[in-house]
Amino acid sequence: GALGGLGLALGLWRRQAALAAAREDEEEKELRQRFMAPPVSGLRELRRRRRELRSRMELLIMETQAEVCRALAALDPGVSFAVDSWERQEGGGGISCVLQDGEVFEKAGVNVSVVSGHLSEEAARQMRSRGKSLKAKDGKLPFCAMGVSSVIHPKNPHVPTMHFNYRYFEIEEADGTIQWWFGGGTDLTPTYLNEEDAVHFHKTLKEACDKHDLKLYPKYKKWCDDYFYIKHRGERRGIGGIFFDDMDSPSKEEVFQFVKSCAKAVVPCYIPIVKKHCHDPFTPEEKLWQQLRRGRYVEFNLLYDRGTKFGLLTPGSRIESILMSLPLTARWEYMHNPPESSKEAEILQVLRNPKDWVH
């Protein structure tokens, strides 16, 4: 009798194990379909460590990439995203999704990267200059960084350029202490000002922030206006949005949930604006003004953007993915000044004096 009972228990255990394995396979298939490519850390590894924040963040950035790519592809069905998985010798890798020369988008890129290794001296210096006390062991600082980042340059000058980036960072100090923080933001760069669009964009981001703390939107809106500032021009890169960095309180879980809300707000804050204007008629003069504004975009990204600088300072980083943010076309004219009280002068006013769009 005891042997029979053992056999029954063994049979039951096998059935449960087979069911669990089938469930896992089903889950894996579903995840694979949800993403643009298999995740850098591998699905099994992510599932094995699914309670750890690093795994949850990687799943979030993968989901955000797929969500945004599908929303963009639905608006520009004539072209498709080139999906490029790459590995980094020093540790980790990424997935770059880039669409070029569409009817609606001249260039749209949505990148995910999950990298680890040791911080270069220049990158550590850049972080220390922001007040981080990083104590290295034998001159080495192990780090892990992951994020999703995107820049979308539409063809029509009446559709704004949009950028977003959400990232997580961990650094292990000499005594084994782990320093962690989140950073990111979403911002809009129109060629021409449309107040209704500006209000919609900012309101959507404010709603995402307000779910967590009413103080966050005004604080991060101001930070965004200050960060995307082209010092040598005395103007902002665009009409802002939200931006934050080094966010490590109130708790890891709370900050993660906040970042998740911001990432989920990307499609609703931008896609309706694209739909509304992608078929607007435009003149050659308006296209020319768009090219000049794109020149400003390039100036900011190459001279001031911290993410671009960090990427260029990280050994083994993928230059193609870092410079994905640059448009296919841009223009620089000597001493170009738009006529006073023109539509072109109107946007410059707002770029020089940021507005409160939601009150």
Specify the amino acid at residue 266: V
Instruction: Please report, as a single letter, which amino acid is at residue 354.
Output: P
> Active site residue: 163, 200, 202, 277, which one?
163
Selection from 345, 310, 305 nearest residue 326 by Cα:
305
Q: Is the dihedral of CA 43, 145, 322, 99 positive or negative?
A: positive
Q: Which of 157, 161, 191, 189 is nearest to 287 (CA)?
A: 157
For this structure, is 232 an active site residue? no
Question: For residues 188 and 240, is the Cβ–Cβ distance under 8 A?
Answer: yes
Question: Which are the catalytic amino acids?
Answer: 163
